[in-house]
């Protein structure tokens, strides 16, 4: 996995500084490149990094980087070099037998070097590139697109120099000072500073990933709390339905149950609706659902009182709850529609869409009565 939390990051080494190659754009300062590669290898070893290489051919920078890496590796802090060649190629850096590093060969099942190259690149914790041509440039673009920590040494031109220019558009975890450092001319201090810049990018990326994961866990926890509150509200409204008393003259308790149960259902509906989106702030949604539920339920009761003025004299709470609880839940679940209808001057979905339900003890309307209303 890229940018793992392993104490020894795996750094891919890519590029070519061979003056005999004709590349576009051309290489520069190639006489400094072999020693620069060895210095980079030493700094990578001292920083406790593992290397990912792809070829031992002298035309690529891996040869000199691995030599410098082997020189700086000690018995107390041995190094590790992982080579990823295609299945038909061998890797031999000509290291001394007593070198304090382990060489691992991971042959790819594909016979094409591009497959092994790009497949491995995505598993590394960082990329260090110098010179090179089109393939180096493409590797740098891939690293930038995948947000891999990346240091192109632009002092030697080639494809790495082109990749450095791309930092103007895609910075990922690099800062201004690091980008300027990548474009500076080579000096005796460049190797240590460039390796430090690469590891700083990795640490910055890991911190950002941890913050993102922490935020996701926090949002998931808030969402679960909201759903738990919604479940409690639903159970409370159902409990009110089950425990409602027989038909009688309306009392304060009956009115509280008659209004409170659908309001609890409306809050539950709004929270459940909110859980489908990316906003984990369910409290705000619950308040909006309560407002929509209150308006819808009160409009329904108002329409019933206008039709049956004696509704409260013989109030059947349980019978009304069978309708008002689903009404409240629907109003909360579609609170945006309720408020939109209110802004446009409509009475709301309860009054606009729900037909009048006869109150307990009231006679159904006779034929033609609806038209006279």
* ω into 25 cis (within 30 of 0): yes
Is 231 within a domain? no
Considering the domain architecture, whether residues 272 and 153 belong to the same structural domain is answered as no
What CATH number is attached to the domain comprising 34?
Answer: 3.40.50.450
CB 103, CB 83: distance < 8 Å: yes
* Residue 203 in this model has a pLDDT that exceeds 50: yes
Residue range 31-47: mean pLDDT, rounded: 96
One domain for residues 168 and 77: yes
Report the alpha-carbon distance of residue 19 to residue 11 in Å, rounded: 25
Domain termination residue (choose one: 157, 190, 212): 212
Residues 37 and 166 in one domain: yes
The count of other CB atoms within 10 Å of the CB of residue 70 is 22
Query: 234 in a domain, yes or no?
Result: no
Residues 272 and 181 in one domain: no
Domain boundary pick from 165, 196, 212: 212
C-alpha 135/C-alpha 117 separation (Å) is 10
Which of the listed residues 212, 234, 265 is the one where a domain comes to its end? 212
Count of CA atoms in the C-beta half-sphere (13 A) of 355: 5
In a domain, 194, yes or no: yes
Q: pLDDT per residue over 236-287, tens digit each?
A: 999 998 888 788 888 888 889 989 999 999 999 999 988 887 666 788 889 9
pTM over 0.75: no
Same domain, 197 and 306: no
User: What percentage of the chain has pLDDT greater than the value 70?
Assistant: 89
Residues 53 and 164 in one domain: yes
208 and 250: one domain? no
Residue 145 lies in a domain: yes
Within this chain, do residues 305 and 353 fall inside the same structural domain, yes or no? yes
Residue 84 located in a structural domain:
yes
Q: Mark whether 150 and 295 lie in a shared domain.
A: no
Nearest one of 54, 43, 59, 44 to 9, comparing CA atoms: 44
Same domain, 175 and 33: yes
Q: Do 192 and 65 belong to one domain?
A: yes
Q: How many domains does the chain have?
A: 2
Query: What is the number of residues in the chain?
Result: 373
Least confident interval from 59-68, 119-128, 356-365: 356-365
Confidence of residue 312 (pLDDT cuts 50, 70, 90): confident
CB burial of residue 285 (10 Å; 0-12, 13-18, 19+): buried
Q: Which of 98-112, 222-236, 275-289, 327-341 has the highest mean pLDDT?
A: 222-236
Nearest Cα residue to 220 out of 151, 276, 168, 280: 280
Domain carrying residue 155: 10-212
């Amino acid at each position: 996995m890229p940018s793992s939390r392993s104490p020894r990051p795996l750094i891919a080494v890519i590029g070519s500084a061979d003056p005999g190659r004709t590349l576009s754009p051309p290489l520069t300062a190639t006489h400094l490149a072999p020693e620069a590669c060895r210095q980079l290898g030493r700094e990578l070893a001292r920083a406790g990094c593992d290397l990912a290489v792809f070829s031992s051919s002298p035309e690529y920078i891996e040869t000199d980087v691995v030599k410098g890496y082997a020189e700086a590796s000690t018995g107390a802090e041995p190094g590790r070099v992982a080579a990823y060649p295609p299945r038909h190629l061998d890797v031999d850096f000509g290291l001394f037998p007593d070198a304090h590093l382990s060489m691992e060969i991971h042959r790819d099942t594909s016979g094409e070097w591009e497959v092994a190259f790009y497949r491995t690149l995505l598993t590394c914790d960082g990329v260090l590139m110098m010179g090179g041509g089109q393939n180096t440039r493409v590797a740098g673009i891939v690293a930038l697109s995948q947000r891999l920590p990346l240091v192109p040494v632009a002092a030697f031109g080639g494809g790495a120099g082109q990749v450095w220019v791309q930092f103007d558009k895609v910075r990922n975890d690099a800062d201004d000072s690091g980008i300027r450092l990548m474009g500076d001319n080579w000096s005796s201090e460049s190797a240590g500073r460039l390796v430090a810049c690469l590891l700083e990018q990795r640490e910055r990326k890991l911190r950002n990933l941890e913050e993102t994961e922490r935020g996701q866990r926090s949002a998931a926890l808030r969402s679960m709390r909201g759903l738990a509150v919604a479940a409690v509200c639903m159970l409370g409204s159902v409990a009110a339905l089950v425990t409602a008393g027989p038909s009688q003259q309306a009392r304060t308790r009956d009115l509280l149950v008659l209004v409170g149960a659908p309001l609890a259902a409306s809050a539950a509906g709004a929270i459940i609706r909110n859980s489908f989106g990316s906003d984990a702030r369910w409290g705000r949604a619950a308040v909006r659902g309560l407002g929509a539920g209150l308006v819808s339920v009160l409009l329904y009761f108002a329409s019933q009182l206008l039709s049956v003025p004696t509704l409260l004299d013989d109030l059947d709470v349980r019978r009304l709850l069978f309708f008002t609880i689903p009404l409240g839940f629907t109003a909360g679940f579609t609170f945006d529609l309720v408020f939109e209808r209110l802004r446009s001057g409509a009475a709301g979905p309860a009054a606009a869409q729900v037909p009048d339900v006869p109150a307990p003890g009231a006679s159904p309307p006779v034929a033609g009565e609806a038209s006279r209303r």
